[in-house]
Amino acid sequence: MGEVYLAEDTKLNRKVALKFLPVDAAPNRERTHRFLQEARAAAKLHHGNIAHIYEIGEANGKTFIVMEYVEGQTLDDRINSVATTYLDEILRIGIETADALEEAHNAGITHRDIKPSNIMITERGQVKVFDFGLAKLTATGFEQTGAELPTQIKTSPGVLLGTVQYMSPEQALGREVDHRTDIFSLGLVLYEMATGKRPFTGVTATETIDRILHAQPEAMGRLNPTVPAELERIIRKCLEKDRECRYQSALELLTDLRNLRRDGSQPSVITERSGRETLIRPHYIYVLLALVLLSVLGGAGYFVTRNKAIDSVAVLPFTNESADPNLEYLSEGITENLINRLSQVPELRVVPRSTVFRYKGPNVDPLASARALGVRTVVVGKVAQRGETLSIQTELLDVTNESQLWGEQYNRRVTDLLTIQDDIARGKVLKPISSI
């Protein structure tokens, strides 16, 4: 609700966001009340994952609030724009959002409109929760008018506040809501991040609400086989239709998410998307990817940690030498995973994905590319399929003396790889990676 503009605070020389109450809403006392409620509710909160409210004012008969300006992208845009979402990223965003809600709930504030478009991811990857315009304060806050029924669709006898696809059952029914409605909505967001699909959708708002009230979401493992069982358990607990069966506080949810993130044995969640649909790749891709990570990180990690002179590395996009498009996803997945994992090695500068993918192609000179990127070492690789055999060749090259520090080639039959899928899912193969 309201129009938002980028502005500059001339006194403090900083960018701010100005949110104005729409002119056509000015005569509407209820909307004016909700607009002011947003400012008062959010102004009570001081948390690193909540967008700050600086002040409220009026100019030329128009009411406005001055908010923190955050550079980045909404979680909604991020879900739609990235090809892969990793478990650690899902958990980090979930943890920071839950932490923000815990702060708000302790202050007696229920957001009531948690959705990807109200969650901003800053350029540094930090979560910022926005828009407390639909916030409902409990008795520890200020009272609200009885005319405000707990989106944007009209029902009898009132108007529902919120966004249909991310409503809790009690919210969709227009009943009294509390902080547990935010936990349900956050569960919907986590489900969407992990699978690329909203759990409850219909052709009309009425059909969507009916599914929220009566249908169970599709099993996450069917949409993305790499989702850990513990993450699915956490999300399903958030999505209990009976709020007495959900997490009873954001702190409980926060604790389970933190414990899952701390468990280093969990494999990464990789979700390939085309629009809002999740395209599940053959299982052997995930199995082979884990094996290659073990191989490459084992070799690269050894030289990086043993040779103090190696302080920088670039992972060039692996070359797909076959016509199979599935191998293209594998090639890109290997590259992205190596970049993410090597970035965790202390005192090692790793060239980001956005930069190295400029050097994608079969005719790229790896040493020349590494020199252009200003790194000491470079990881290169090739992926090919010959009949039922998948072959991956990897090398770690030293740019200074144009020598090979390490190399490995994997040849695996697809049928053989499937036999160790369960071990990969349980993290047995990936555990040694955490040692570098």
- Mapping DSSP onto H, E and C, the string for 216-266 reads CCCCHHHHCCCCCHHHHHHHHHHCCCCHHHCCCCHHHHHHHHHHHHHCCCC
Q: Specify whether the CB–CB gap between 185 and 253 falls below 8 A.
A: no
Sign of CA dihedral 421, 427, 431, 436: positive
Nearest to 257 by CA among 417, 130, 96, 113: 96
Nearest to 91 by CA among 206, 263, 286: 263
Tell me which amino acid residue 135 is. Answer: A
Q: How far apart are CA 228 and CA 90, in angstroms?
A: 12
How many Å is the maximal CA-CA distance in the chain?
77
Q: How far apart are CA 342 and CA 354, in angstroms?
A: 15
DSSP string of 64-104? EEEEE---EEEHHHHHHH-S---HHHHHHHHHHHHHHHHHH
- The residues, any chain, with a CB within 8 Å of residue 191's CB and separated by 6 or more, are 197, 198, 199, 217, 220, 235, 239
Catalytic choice (58, 123, 244, 402): 123
Q: How far apart are CA 201 and CA 210, in angstroms?
A: 9
Active-site annotation holds for 123: yes
How many residues in the chain?
436
Q: How far apart are CA 157 and CA 273, in angstroms?
A: 40
Nearest to 317 by CA among 281, 272, 370, 358: 358
The two structure tokens encoding residue 82: 């990235």
Q: DSSP label at 154?
A: B
Any idea which residues carry the catalytic annotation? 123
